[in-house]
A and B are shown apart, each in its own frame.
Chain A
Amino acid sequence: MMRSRTYPQFELQDIIQRFGKRKALQIPHLVLEGGEIYGFVGPNGSGKTTLLYIMNLLLRPTYGEVFFEGKPIYGDTGWRTSAQRKMTMVLQNPYLFNTTVEKNIEYPLKLRGLPKRERLGIVGDILDEVGLAGFEKRGARYLSGGETQLVALARALALSPRVLFLDEPTANVDAKRIHQLENIIAKVNRERSTTVVLTTHNLAQAYRIADRVFSLFEGRLVSPAMHNLFKGAIRTSPEATYFDTGKIRIQIPSEYKDSESGHASVNPDEIILSRKPFVSSARNTFAGVIIQISSGEGKVHLEINSGELFRVEITNQSFREMGLNLGSRVYLTFKATSVHIL
């Protein structure tokens, strides 16, 4: 979905975080738009939590600047405080204060000076929303792992934050609750336009929930493990079977027509790039514009916007011969069998 915003919600510029001599995080540039769900994937120690702490303004990076809604955070104390009040985080191992569920959820509302009646109304609504109606007077220390996670999420949501950070939200939750939590996260994002930034070590989960997935490895953003991954649904017409992302329709082999999968990926190596429409037996052809060019491992990586964002890899030689530039109009062609339904 395109949103008309002057500034991205978050912009990280030349961030370096050191712990002693160890460089825990190094991010030259990262932009997060409001209202989206972002997933950061990576193994333990890859810097995911550090990145969340920096974005939640709990940790000032050793170097670099964080911009929130276009304004730098470190340079203006007032802006930092008001930015901090627009975001909140649920820790990986959420901590509930040693009191009732109600008092836990009330806590941030009390900090903001809401009157008692209003606070209790919000507590009731939010408990309903996370499926824990009637838990008000329960002792927070007597809840199961899944319930603890839900109460912590409810406490964060009570604030109606613009940005919600979730550090491994389902790490300590049983399978039954994972689905519930994922649904709540999606609903909050959809209904309140809350930007959600979550970390997980579960790649499938990241792709299931997030609009955009970033991979972190040893403190650096690396290419996602899967490229050209799309969310959507499989549709059939008399002529063909499609994977419909809501923006484009990708033809896929008919054997998938009964599949209920919501994810499809296209291998960047199997996409043919051309300046003019390419005549072939391949079923999928999309016109697009080059929006990013980078090189590495002897290849040129192109990001092409053709309704959905595609990543294509070509050789340095082809890149030169085709005379490609940012903004060049190109065609992407690939076979139905190049599409993998996940």
Chain B
Amino acid sequence: MGYLSEALGTAGRLIFTLDPEILEIVGRSLRISLTATSLASLVGIPLGFLIGSKDFQGKAIVIIIVHTLMALPTVVVGLLGYALLSRQAPLGFLELLFTPRAMVMGEFILSLPIITALTISAVQGVDRRAILTAQTLGAGKIRVAWTALMEARYSLLAAVIAGFGRAASEVGSAMMLGGNIRFYTRTMTTAIALETSKGEFGFALALGLFLLLVVFSVNILLHLFQMRVRVR
């Protein structure tokens, strides 16, 4: 038990002294996962809206595939990314492997199915009368779609939060595509994995607590934002 209390002590000290390396890692983690989540939302919400609101052949299959991709193992994404981006690979010329951009790509692929799938169910849950009402009041097609999305805003917010959770907490693809390079691609999760394997529980625990704190703060921010979003 001694090492645990020692680790807690170290964690507390690192947090309260705002250790520069920890702050740097937290900042990078946030940048990467927020970028990935934003991109995944920009693609996933319209995609989910289209799948959810249109009737087309093979719709059920598409939805099953999206649901399956929600469970995509992070190391598989890392592996595929590695296979595509390494020097001899088809996309090797882009020289993206072991860069933050590659990590953004990995996290984008991981959170996209979550945001898309949750948007599909959010859109399917919108009362049909909302769409009819917008039409009777003179809204065009785009305005009707926007109104439907606004009516589903609480569920859409949950979709974005879930997507962010996935991006911020995954370690497999960040490790394989980023390489855990100090001061360049090291994030909270890859650092926790490394420090734990080195036996530096205090540092790892401090990062773990920061990770929780960060996710908590982002959720609060998103909720505050959502309170301001109104039907337009």
Chain A residues engaging chain B, CB cutoff 8 angstroms: 56, 58, 84-85, 88-91, 93-95, 97-100, 103-104, 107-108, 110-112, 155-156, 159, 165
Contact = CB atoms under 8 A, between A and B. Distances in A.
A85 B138 contact: yes
27 contacts: A58-B132, A58-B135, A84-B138, A85-B138, A88-B136, A88-B137, A88-B138, A90-B136, A91-B129, A91-B136, A93-B129, A95-B127, A95-B130, A97-B130, A97-B150, A97-B231, A98-B151, A103-B230, A103-B231, A107-B134, A107-B137, A110-B232, A111-B138, A111-B143, A155-B137, A159-B138, A165-B136
Question: Which of B127, B137, B230, B232 has the largest count of A CB atoms less than 10 A from its CB?
Answer: B137
Contact of A99 (B137, B138, B231): B231
B134 to A, nearest CB: 8
A89 B132 CA distance: 10
Contact of B138 (A95, A103, A104, A108): A108
A136 to B, nearest CB: 13
Interface string B139-164: 10001000100110000000000000
Given A99-B230, A103-B230, A111 B139 contact: yes
Interface in B100-151: 127, 129-130, 132-139, 143, 147, 150-151
Given A88-B138, A108-B138, A111-B138, A95 B230 contact: no
B144 to A, nearest CB: 10
A112 B139 CA distance: 9
A98 B154 CA distance: 11
B232 to A, nearest CB: 7
A88 B143 CA distance: 16
Interface string B219-232: 00000000000111
Given A85-B138, A88-B138, A95-B127, 18 more contacts: A58-B132, A58-B136, A84-B138, A88-B136, A91-B132, A91-B133, A94-B129, A94-B133, A95-B132, A97-B130, A97-B151, A103-B230, A103-B231, A107-B134, A107-B231, A108-B137, A156-B136, A156-B137
A132 B8 CA distance: 60
Nearest to A155: B137
A111 B136 contact: no
A56 B143 CA distance: 18
Contact of A111 (B127, B137, B151, B230): B137
Nearest to B130: A95
Contacts of A103: 230-231
B45 to A, nearest CB: 18
Interface of B: 127, 129-130, 132-139, 143, 147, 150-151, 230-232
Contacts of A58: 132, 135-136
Contacts of B134: 107
Contacts of B132: 58, 91, 95
A99 B147 CA distance: 12
Nearest to B131: A95
Nearest to B127: A95
Contact of A56 (B130, B136, B147, B230): B136
Contacts of A155: 137
A156 B150 CA distance: 20
Question: Which of B132, B138, B143 has the largest count of A CB atoms less than 10 A from its CB?
Answer: B138
A102 to B, nearest CB: 10
Contacts of A95: 127, 129-130, 132-133
Nearest to A110: B232
Question: Which of A90, A98, A100, A108 has the largest count of B CB atoms less than 10 A from its CB?
Answer: A98
Nearest to B135: A58
Contacts of A89: 136
Nearest to B147: A97
A279 to B, nearest CB: 57
Nearest to B143: A111
B127 to A, nearest CB: 6
A93 B130 CA distance: 11
B230 to A, nearest CB: 5
A99 B151 CA distance: 9
Nearest to A85: B138
Contacts of A90: 136
A77 to B, nearest CB: 12
Given A97-B231, A98-B151, A107-B231, A159 B137 contact: yes
Contacts of B127: 95
Question: Which of A56, A84, A95, A108 has the largest count of B CB atoms less than 10 A from its CB?
Answer: A95
A159 B139 CA distance: 13
A28 B188 CA distance: 72
